[in-house]
Amino acid sequence: FGMETGLRRAIESEALTLHFQPICDLATGRIVSFEALARWTDEQGVCLSPDAFIPVAEESGLIVPLGRWAMDEAVRTLAAWNDAAGKPCDVRIAVNLSAIQLQRDQIPSMVRAALDRHGVSSNQLTLELTESAIGTDPDHVARIMTALKDMGATLAMDDFGTGYSNLAHLQRLPIDLLKIDRSFVSGMLADRDKLAIVRAILSLASALGMTTIAEGVEALDLAQRLAALGCTQGQGFLFGRPLDRDRAYRLMAERN
Ligand code: G
Ligand code: G
Ligand code: MN
Ligand code: NA
């Protein structure tokens, strides 16, 4: 219960923040979006990873207020960037949605309210879902995704290849972006099996008309190889670590 109480307080205070990791076009290096990643600095000043607290948030139901906070904070950030630029920035922010959140919250109306509150267009927003989030109740998730898509948001399948990889879901759901999991990407230059899996995912995405994002791109030779294989975008330490709102804005201003 210790962590749950701490997390409840963190959602209501400044202890929870969003960091923003750039996602770049592999051909041009241009930043096309940022993934919003939650960070929690606890009472001892220790920065906790979402891998540690998202499961606690899911088990306790706190994922609903946490998810609402993350959506509001991401859209608020877009509004601040648009304000600073004097026009809508040509980047999106990608927000993660968890499986439990999809079951427990009214996602489309929650997203709509955040966009309206801050005067931001849905075309600046991407929602990331994992395969496991779909697996729990595919029909329910399909309705949510269709509503978000109709609203004008972009939809991404996160960590692709690590879940059940139900290809029927991929075909049936209005998914725009496929994120290739870091576990396949990072070792692919040294491991023929990983390379084969990455090629297969790229081929599948291309056949289904989806854009691809390789996760865990840490080196230039890897980025070049991915581009040559037809991968569209990359995310990883080569392009940038997750940054706070102001640093992310400055990176975008100097790079784009
Ligand atoms: O930043 P880091 O690699 O530690 O993030 C680990 C994972 O935690 C990410 O892959 C992401 O899916 C998840 N995560 C980060 N922020 C959020 C959030 O705001 N909501 C949800 N549901 N998951 C998040
Ligand atoms: O949504 P997801 O769980 O994929 O979030 C991405 C996570 O992976 C973030 O927590 C981020 O800190 C981490 N990450 C992002 N880029 C890299 C990278 O290039 N290498 C490694 N090792 N981790 C990364
Ligand atoms: Mn993600
Ligand atoms: Na991911």
- Angle CA 92–172–186, to nearest 5: 55
CB 200 within 8 A of CB 178: no
C-alpha 213/C-alpha 90 separation (Å) is 18
Half-sphere exposure of 166 (CA within 13 A, CB side): 14
How does pLDDT run along the chain (256 residues), one tens digit per residue? 588 999 999 999 989 999 999 999 999 999 999 999 999 998 888 999 999 999 999 999 999 999 999 999 999 999 999 999 999 999 999 999 999 999 999 999 999 999 999 999 999 999 999 988 887 788 999 999 999 999 999 999 998 988 776 788 888 899 999 999 999 999 999 999 999 999 999 999 999 999 999 999 999 999 999 999 999 999 999 999 999 999 999 999 999 9
Residue nearest to atom 19 of ligand 1 (CA): 38
70 lines ligand 1 (CB under 6 A): yes
| Ion ligand 3 contact residues with beta carbon within 5 A | 96, 128, 158
Pick the CATH number of 21-37+71-255 from 3.20.20.450, 2.40.50.100, 3.40.50.300, 3.90.10.10: 3.20.20.450
Q: What is the pTM of this model?
A: 0.96
Give me 97's structure tokens.
């949605």
Q: Which residue has the tokens 């139900």?
A: 166
Ligand 1 centre and the CA of 55: distance in Å? 10
Give me 170's structure tokens.
């991929």
Residue type present at position 69? W
Domain extents in the chain: 21-37+71-255
CB 159 within 8 A of CB 97: no
- Angle CA 108–110–115, to nearest 5: 95
C-alpha 103/C-alpha 98 separation (Å) is 9
Which of the 8 DSSP states describes residue 239? Answer: T
Helix or strand (DSSP H, E) at 204: helix 192-207
Residue type present at position 222? L
Query: 88 CB contacts (<8 Å, ≥6 apart)?
Result: 82, 121, 124
Asked if the interface predicted TM-score (ipTM) of this complex is over 0.90, the answer is: yes
User: Could you tell me whether strands 125-130 and 154-160 are parallel, antiparallel, or unpaired per DSSP bridges?
Assistant: parallel
94 lines ligand 1 (CB under 6 A): no
